[in-house]
Amino acid sequence: MRQWIALVYRTLALLKRHGLIDELDLMHLNGEGHYYERRLGRDHIHIACLRCGTITEFLSERFDLLKSELEQECRFRILVARLEVGGYCSECRR
């Protein structure tokens, strides 16, 4: 069993090195737990439910516009942008 776990971690490290996945620690929902997702090629917003732990990915034109505005006004080249929002999903609000 330990060999399989080691294989999984080596594979995750390889995928990260080649830019195919991202490792995230969203809202520290699971303490030391990390999430892995394939790299979409477009920055997006993560919405995390603080009660059930559901993660939703949200693509937004406004987020893209905000990044452009930051680059222009701050004379800064953004290579990666991450935004996390925490709250309660519709199921947990009931």
Cα–Cα distance, 25 to 72 (Å, whole number): 29
Cα–Cα distance, 66 to 74 (Å, whole number): 12
Which domains are assigned to the chain?
A: 2-93 (3.30.1490.190)
The first and second tokens of residue 73, run together, are 């006004």
The pLDDT value given to residue 52: 92
Task: Give the helix/strand (H/E) hosting 90.
Answer: helix 90-93
Task: Give the helix/strand (H/E) hosting 86.
Answer: strand 83-87
Could you tell me the pLDDT band of residue 38, with boundaries at 50, 70 and 90? confident
- Residues 67-90 have a mean pLDDT of 93
Could you tell me the pLDDT band of residue 27, with boundaries at 50, 70 and 90? low
